[in-house]
Amino acid sequence: MRGRFDRHLTPYLFVAPFFAVFAVFGAYPLLMTLWMSLHDWHLINGAGDWTGLANYTELFSDPDFWNALGNTLSLFVISTVPQLILALFLAALLNTKLRGRTFWRAGVLIPNVVSVVAVALVFAQVFGRDFGIVNWLLGLAGVDPIDWPADVWSSHLAIALIVTWRWTGYNALIYLAAMQAVPNDLYESARLDGASNWRAFWTVTVPMIRPTILFTTVVSTIGGLQLFAEPLLFESKGASTGTGGSDRQYQTITMYLYEKGFTLFDAGYAATIAWVLFLVVALIALVNFALVRRAVASR
Amino acid sequence: MTTTALPQTHRRRSGASTTGSGRLRPFIYLLLTAIIAASAFPLYWTFVVASSDNSAIGEATPPLVPGGNLFDNISRVFDSSEFGLALTNSAIVATTVAVGNVLFASMAGFAFARLKFRGRNALLVTVIGTMMVPTQLGIIPLYLLTTDLGWTGHLQALIVPALVSAFGVFWMRQAVEEAVPKELVEAAFVDGCSLVRVYWHVALPAIRPAAAVLGLFMFMGAWNDFFWPLVVLNPENPTVQVALSVLASGYYTDYALMLTGALLGVLPVLGVFLLLARQIVGGIMAGAVKG
């Protein structure tokens, strides 16, 4: 009897902790977000009236939302595209016969283990208007100092550089792992056909690791569209409000969510932003999946 | 039945795609060295600023080599913020989250890989499905929930929601598939071992390396987490990342102070990383092939 009970019930006890914690702290908040977005809801005072889709109509005519969406997409594109392409080439370099393999692999991963907050603080200094090292270098070349956070283009460029710096090595290791699974015979026959290394890279390596490229595209899309800490801390004094610069020039959607929910206490509206962001992420992840699949296949 | 064994293809080292002909090799090393230098430069720069007098940073030519003010700056960081408390808090949270994830994920992973029960496949699909959902979008209700529980401002608000992860379950299931032979589990049953004993004495010892890598990932993730701690903690009881953001939002920008804090916050994780780089790199690459 005891053995039967053990065999039938214990497996459920083994998986129970995961599902219990996930149900309470993962699934419930997501569904509750949907419910809250249909209400007038104050973060401190609690639920107000049912408002139906009023939050959504307000959001779609909210210029600050469109601004944040535009910033998010712009930052996403100029950080993710170069990052994945660079990672692909870096992986190809790492896939050659190297002495001290672990050293090189660990070296490219360093930016990824440093906390995003520390990274943001360092780069805030590096891109500082008055004492930043970038402006100092530009000064040596005779270029006037740039107030990096002040403009749309310069702030986006600087933030994209931070994101690219942080994630290129990580993605390169993912690609490297996939490249090592490519059977050597394919390279042999490409070489017999007289293909150069460069050509073999495009005709053998890239098509063979296509699933991994698709995987990183989707993961980077999900992560990139939720960009938060780098822009939040880019200008140190903006850290507490989340507006992303005096003209909201680098406010992302997640920062807008933060501003509405946690500094203005409009929880219903913030929940609406969260759900719309979720849909945007899902949509763009699907589009990117389709785009990259076609692009890589046509090679 | 358990699912198919892992395809063995990825075990076969294909070696190098481009063997790097003689002319090319110095060039490859040069390029890689430049990339590593670019990767490490911000850390070097952090150290330079952290060891300088704040006024030196405002000079016409910035200091390019470390100065002698590191210890002054460190004591200023501890004086001007709750940094000691922050380090302790981060260590508690990250350790607990790592241990919890290893324990719960290995239990679930063992069940999914080696036990038969009704609804197993549906539950496994649910786990994998949740990996794609950005759960941080539920942050508003999560905040209200922790407020109702009276956890706001306390460490359990960070620990409890992070105790499990779908990634961890998926990771440990793969580890059990690879490292725990079915026959061994069956033999233990025949000998009259209870499931808990089989898990503890047979499965857990075999998956120790994978469990260690998972623990490391979870430790680093919890240590570096920012959005949720920023929302749910207050500056009087911060984690390292929250304390850093407090240092950064001061009335006037004291770069030496900020970056000394950043250095102190990075060192523990960087130390762990440098000690166990081989395992961490291997873990990420193994995860890539499995994912």
User: How many domains does chain A divide into?
Assistant: 2
Nearest chain B CA: its distance from A181 CA (Å):
5
A126 and A222 assigned to the same domain: yes
Pull the structure tokens for residue B62. Answer: 């910035």
Residue A115 and residue B18: Cβ atoms within 8 Å? no
Pull the structure tokens for residue B77. Answer: 């960081």
Which residues on B lie below 8 Å from A72 (Cβ)? none
- Cβ under 8 Å to A: B residues 115-174: 115-117, 120, 123, 126-127, 130, 132-145, 160-161, 163-164, 166, 169
A153 and A17 assigned to the same domain: no
Q: Which domain holds residue A199?
A: 55-297
A15 and A79 assigned to the same domain: no
- Of the partner residues A102, A130, A200, the one whose CB lies closest to the CB of residue B281: A102
With 50 as the cut, is the pLDDT of residue B212 above it? yes
Ranges in chain A, pLDDT < 70: 1-5, 236-240, 297-299
Please check whether residue B248 lies inside any domain of the structure. no
Which residues on A lie below 8 Å from B36 (Cβ)? 104, 107-108
Other CB atoms within a 10 A radius of the CB of residue A265 amount to 14
Residue A118 and residue B244: Cβ atoms within 8 Å? yes
A182 and A255 assigned to the same domain: yes
- Nearest chain B residue to A102 by CA: give it: B278
B200 interfacial to chain A (CB closer than 8 Å): no
Other CB atoms within a 10 A radius of the CB of residue B234 amount to 11
Which pLDDT tens digit goes with each residue over A185-244? Answer: 988 888 888 888 888 898 899 999 988 998 899 889 888 999 998 998 887 555 567 888
Please check whether residue B4 lies inside any domain of the structure. no
- Of the partner residues A126, A201, A278, the one whose CB lies closest to the CB of residue B45: A126
A156 and A235 assigned to the same domain: yes
A141 and A182 assigned to the same domain: yes
Q: Which domain holds residue B161?
A: 85-235+268-290
Whole-complex ipTM: 0.88
Q: Which amino acid is at A37?
A: S
Please check whether residue B179 lies inside any domain of the structure. yes
A140 and A17 assigned to the same domain: no
Which pLDDT tens digit goes with each residue over B171-199? Answer: 999 999 999 999 988 888 888 888 899 99
A164 and A264 assigned to the same domain: yes
Helix, strand, or coil (residue A132): coil
A164 and A79 assigned to the same domain: yes
User: How many domains does chain B divide into?
Assistant: 1
* Residue A1: DSSP 8-state: -
We report the CATH number of the domain holding residue A98 as: 1.10.3720.10
A137 and A20 assigned to the same domain: no
DSSP for B84-131, please give it. HHHHHHHHHHHHHHHHHHHHHHHHHHHHHHH---TTHHHHHHHHHHHH
B231 interfacial to chain A (CB closer than 8 Å): yes
Which pLDDT tens digit goes with each residue over B29-66? Answer: 999 999 999 999 999 999 999 998 877 777 777 778 88
CA B80 to CA B174: how far, in whole Å? 47
CA B216 to CA B209: how far, in whole Å? 11
A17 and A160 assigned to the same domain: no
A33 touches B138 (CB < 8 A): yes
